[in-house]
């Protein structure tokens, strides 16, 4: 391994907050940037995510150095060498170099070290094991730079051993391949993932969803799920996964293509994409939400989309679309249009039918974009003024008038609605 001054100064490296933290740590030995910020900078991404820093300095001394520089320090995981530095609105995770003494899945007994290569050897993939000095020198002990350029996600060391240390790495392999991989996956990593697939039920639902949601948000999640299915992993991750001849993945592939065509690819929605994969049986959504420990909102949304997600017919009229948006909201209607369109696409229609479906569903999405549902002009006060007392009868009368208004595409005005209300009361 040699040091390579490969990176010119990046905005995140020269940011005053970053420089303040690096300067504070320098007396304990030169710190380096590590992990995702290095990887993504090498990819040329204009922004990086969290900025992680490694140092040979023991954590107690890190706290002292930050205090001396008047930088707020939080001992977030000091037993494992991790301290969080906070400068203004920015936070930096600082971890002392370490080596694993014994692993317990997610956690490990560690010993601190001053050996950068030893610390890099405990990381999961070569593309995550690089470090970068403040001056831009790249330290790459395991060929991560070449792997990144080749689109190759490769474990540091023996793949099977690394997965046994923490089974979550199995899912991380598919996630990183979905985000950074090019072409066929590393065969040894894929084989090790398949061999350990039966261990994934032991992972917590929250950890599984954290990885699966990122896979679903990738540029080509269908390819990643196909790899997981072929390796025998997906059946352990999604309890409701059914061998439906690949139709679920075909729907997902179609959905991703539609999102790209409609300008939605920059904000991928993992719950909507998950709904595309699942069977329409409500039990499938319930079992999946339970396994993945989804939030209450995500659980409810997945259940609704799994049942009604493909309910928008290709010949739905604009008026029907407006009524659906009024009842259920634009977001849910848009989700149902996208999923219905994806289901049509996945059926492999002929080119003429596909063009017609694209025009029809595209028009419905445009309705969802521009339609602002009006507020129903009547209220309980109007019903009371017309002679109704508060209670079930008032609600029935108002709903009947509202339905009449909706059936006429919101056109009747307040006076017509009041007349209709009086007629409803007279009939009751």
- List the chain pLDDT tens, one digit each, 428 residues: 555 657 888 899 999 999 999 999 999 999 999 999 999 999 988 777 789 999 999 999 999 999 999 999 999 988 889 999 999 999 999 999 998 777 665 666 789 999 999 999 999 999 999 999 999 999 999 999 999 999 999 999 999 999 999 999 999 999 999 999 999 999 999 999 999 999 999 999 999 999 999 999 999 999 999 999 999 999 898 876 654 668 899 999 999 999 999 999 889 999 999 999 987 777 888 999 999 999 999 999 999 998 877 789 999 999 999 999 999 999 999 999 999 999 989 887 666 588 889 999 999 999 999 999 999 999 999 999 999 999 999 999 999 999 999 999 999 999 999 999 999 998 87
Q: Which residues pair with 391 in a beta bridge?
A: none
**pLDDT of res. 138:** 95
Distances in Å between the Cα of 372 and the Cα atoms of 6, 318, 329, 367 are: 52, 13, 10, 9
Q: Which long-range contacts (CB under 8 A, 24 or more apart) does 281-288 make?
A: 281/240, 281/306, 282/306, 282/307, 283/240, 284/240, 284/242, 285/240, 287/239, 287/240, 288/238, 288/239, 288/240
Contact 165, 179 (CB under 8 A): no
Instruction: Retrieve residue 212's tokens.
Output: 């699966």
Tell the burial category of 254 from Cβ atoms under 10 Å away from its Cβ (0-12, 13-18, 19+): buried
Question: Distance of CA 143 to CAs 8, 32, 146, 177, Å?
Answer: 20, 18, 6, 16
Can you read off the two tokens belonging to residue 8? 């010119």
Within 10 angstroms of residue 125's Cβ, the number of other Cβ atoms is 26
What number of other Cβ atoms are within 10 A of residue 397's Cβ? 22
Q: How far does Cα 306 stand from its chain's mean position?
A: 18
Residue 130 and residue 39 in contact, taking contact as beta carbons nearer than 8 Å: yes
CA–CA dist 116, 3 (Å, integer): 12
Distance, first Cα to last Cα, the chain: 87
Confidence at residue 244, expressed as pLDDT on a 0 to 100 scale = 65
Q: Which CATH number fits domain 3-150: 3.30.460.10, 3.30.360.10, 3.40.50.300, 3.50.50.60?
A: 3.30.460.10
Contact of 156 with 121, CB cutoff 8 Å: yes
Report the residue count for the chain. Answer: 428
Domain coordinates in residue numbering, the chain? 3-150, 158-237, 239-373, 380-427
Cα–Cα distance between 123 and 119 in angstroms, integer?
7
Query: Which one of 1.20.59.10, 3.10.620.30, 3.30.1540.20, 1.10.3090.10 gives the CATH number of domain 158-237?
Result: 1.10.3090.10
């Amino acid at each position: 391994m040699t040091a390579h001054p490969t990176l010119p100064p990046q905005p995140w490296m020269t940011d005053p907050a970053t420089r303040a933290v690096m300067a504070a740590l320098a007396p304990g030995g030169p710190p380096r940037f590590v992990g995702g910020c290095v990887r993504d900078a090498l990819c040329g991404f204009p922004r990086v995510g969290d900025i992680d820093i490694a140092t040979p300095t023991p954590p107690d001394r890190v706290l002292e150095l930050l205090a001396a520089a008047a930088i707020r320090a939080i001992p977030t995981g000091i037993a494992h060498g991790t301290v969080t530095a906070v400068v203004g609105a920015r936070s930096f995770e600082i971890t002392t170099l370490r080596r694993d003494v014994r692993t317990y899945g997610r956690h490990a007994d560690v010993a601190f070290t001053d050996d950068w290569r030893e610390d890099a050897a405990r990381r999961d993939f070569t593309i995550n094991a690089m470090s970068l000095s403040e001056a831009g020198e790249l330290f790459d002990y395991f060929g991560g730079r070449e792997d990144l350029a080749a689109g190759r996600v490769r474990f540091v060391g023996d793949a099977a051993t690394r997965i046994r240390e923490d089974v979550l790495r199995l899912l991380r392999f598919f996630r990183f391949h979905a985000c950074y991989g090019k072409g066929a996956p590393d065969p040894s990593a894929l084989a090790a993932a398949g061999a350990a697939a039966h261990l994934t039920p032991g992972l917590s639902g929250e950890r599984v969803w954290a990885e699966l949601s990122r896979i679903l948000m990738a540029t080509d999640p269908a390819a990643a799920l196909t790899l997981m299915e072929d390796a025998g992993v997906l059946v352990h991750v999604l309890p409701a996964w059914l061998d439906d001849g690949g139709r679920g993945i075909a729907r997902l592939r179609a959905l991703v293509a539609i999102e790209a065509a409609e300008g939605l690819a920059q904000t991928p929605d993992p719950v909507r994409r998950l709904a595309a994969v699942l069977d329409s049986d409500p039990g499938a959504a319930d079992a999946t939400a339970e396994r993945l420990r989804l939030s209450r909102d995500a659980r409810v949304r997945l259940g609704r989309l799994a049942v009604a997600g493909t309910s928008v017919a290709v010949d739905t009229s604009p008026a029907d679309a407006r009524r659906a948006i009024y009842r259920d909201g634009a977001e849910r209607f848009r989700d149902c249009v996208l999923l219905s369109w994806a289901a049509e696409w996945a059926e492999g229609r002929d080119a003429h039918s596909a063009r017609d479906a694209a025009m029809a569903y595209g028009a419905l999405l445009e309705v969802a974009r521009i339609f602002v549902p009006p507020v129903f002009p009547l209220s309980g006060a109007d019903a009371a003024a017309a002679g109704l007392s508060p209670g079930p009868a008032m609600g029935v009368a108002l709903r009947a008038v509202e339905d009449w208004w909706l059936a006429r595409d919101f056109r009747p005005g307040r006076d017509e609605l009041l007349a209709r209300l009086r007629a409803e009361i007279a009939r009751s």
